[in-house]
Amino acid sequence: MPTFRPEDRAGNEGREGVSRHPESGLSIHRVLRSHIVTLRLKPGARLSENELAAQFGTSRTPVREALIRLGEEGLIEVLPQRGSFVTRISLAGMQRARFVREALEIAIVRRLAQSGLSERGHARARAALLKQSQANGAAERFTLADDAFHRALAEDVDISQLWPVLEREKSQFDRIRFLSLPTRTPVDLLIAQHEDILDAILQADAARAEQALHVHLSEVLKITEKLAAENPELIVNDTGAGSSA
């Protein structure tokens, strides 16, 4: 298990609204989730409540809360008498996440195309695109900026807690996405797709915004089975013979 740096414990992962208190279960969850999604904590890694509590300088209770949340997201599994372990990436889980994410985000871009994107939302989306272009192939920086783009759109819709729902559902999707960057999925293509989504919203073209989003979220499907074949220690192809993308 890696040693978490002070800036990790404070939740400084480039995210907004993260608690600065190391005893917070939410803060610990965000740090651990980030390490799992970016594969710093690889499948099979054991997570000890006692060790984590010592590293985060807290009691076992918030650590246990964080591990429960990670289990609900399918990122860890608890084996009786053995402990908690990071799961392999599930292709079935990734497909479920993509289905849920596309349904929610299509509703988001349609709403924004119909009702208009606020100036603040537009500025946040543009700032995220700029950060993506400045990531220079660094997968983690690019991923954070990618999330910032989608979060800017989700939070511009007047529906409470919409982004946390999306974030919780897309955990398996996020790990595949991170593994595909930057060699499998060209970052310039992803940026261009974001530009298309944003332009369609600004042009009040809901149908085009939906199609642009569908194309964007389908990109990772092109390489999932190949990634699974190349990384069996990281990915389990549990989709079944009858499954489809």
What pLDDT, on a 0 to 100 scale, did the predictor assign at position 5?
55
Is 226 among the domain residues? yes
Tell me, what amino acid is at 108? Answer: I
- Do both 208 and 118 map to the same domain? yes
Is the domain of 119 the same as that of 183? yes
6 assigned to some structural domain: no
72 and 106 housed in the same domain: no
Compute CA distances 111 → 17, 116, 129, 199, whole Å.
25, 8, 21, 14
Domain stop point among 70, 87, 104: 87
Q: Are residues 68 and 101 in the same domain?
A: no
Whether residues 110 and 219 share a domain: the answer is yes
- Is pLDDT above 50 for 244? no
Q: Same structural domain for residues 18 and 115?
A: no
In a domain, residue 239? The reply is no
Q: Across the chain, where does the E strand assignment appear?
A: 46-47, 76-79, 83-86, 89-90, 235-236
Residue 129 sits at the vertex; the CA angle it makes with 158 and 155, to the nearest 5 degrees, is 10
Whether residue 104 sits in one domain with residue 81 = no
Query: What's the pLDDT tens digit per position in 81-99?
Result: 888 999 999 989 888 888 9
Please indicate, yes or no, whether residues 114 and 215 belong to a single structural domain of this protein.
yes
Q: What is the pTM of this model?
A: 0.82
In single-letter form, the type of residue at position 165 comes to: V
Contact by Cβ (8 Å): 74, 34: no
Domain total in the chain: 2
138-189 pLDDT, tens digit per residue, is 888 999 999 999 999 999 998 888 998 898 888 888 898 888 887 788 899 9
Give the whole-angstrom CA distance, residue 15 versus residue 236: 29
| CB 173, CB 90: distance < 8 Å | no
Domain boundary among 67, 87, 107: 87
Shared domain check, 199 and 168 = yes
Give the pLDDT of residue 86.
97
Q: Could you give the dihedral angle defined by the CA atoms of residues 245, 222, 142 and 96, in that order, rounded to the nearest 10 degrees?
A: 10
User: Which pLDDT belongs to residue 4?
Assistant: 66
Q: 196 or 6: which carries more pLDDT confidence?
A: 196
Q: What is the pLDDT of residue 25?
A: 83
Residues 5-28 have pLDDT tens digits of 545 544 444 443 333 444 588 899
**Does residue 64 lie in a domain region?**
yes
Same structural domain for residues 168 and 210? yes
Q: Are 63 and 48 in contact (CB under 8 A)?
A: no
Enter the DSSP assignment of 186.
Answer: -
Determine the straight-line distance between the first and last CA of the chain, rounded to whole angstroms: 34
- My answer on whether 48 and 132 are in the same domain is no
Which residue range is the domain that position 50 belongs to? 12-87
**pLDDT digits over 101-117, tens only?**
999 999 999 999 999 99
What CATH number did the domain enclosing 163 receive? 1.20.120.530
Whether the Cβ atoms of residue 161 and residue 20 lie closer than 8 Å to each other: no
Write down the pLDDT at residue 82: 87
Tell me the C-alpha distance between 82 and 60, whole Å.
17
- On whether residue 38 sits in a domain, the answer given is yes
Please identify, among 87, 111, 140, the residue that sits at the C-terminal boundary of a domain: 87
The pLDDT tens digits for 224-240 are 888 888 999 999 988 87
Closest CA to 9 of 39, 45, 53, 44: 53
pLDDT of 205 strictly over 80 = yes
pLDDT at 172: 84
User: Do residue 204 and residue 128 come from a single domain?
Assistant: yes
According to the model, what pLDDT value does residue 16 have? 37
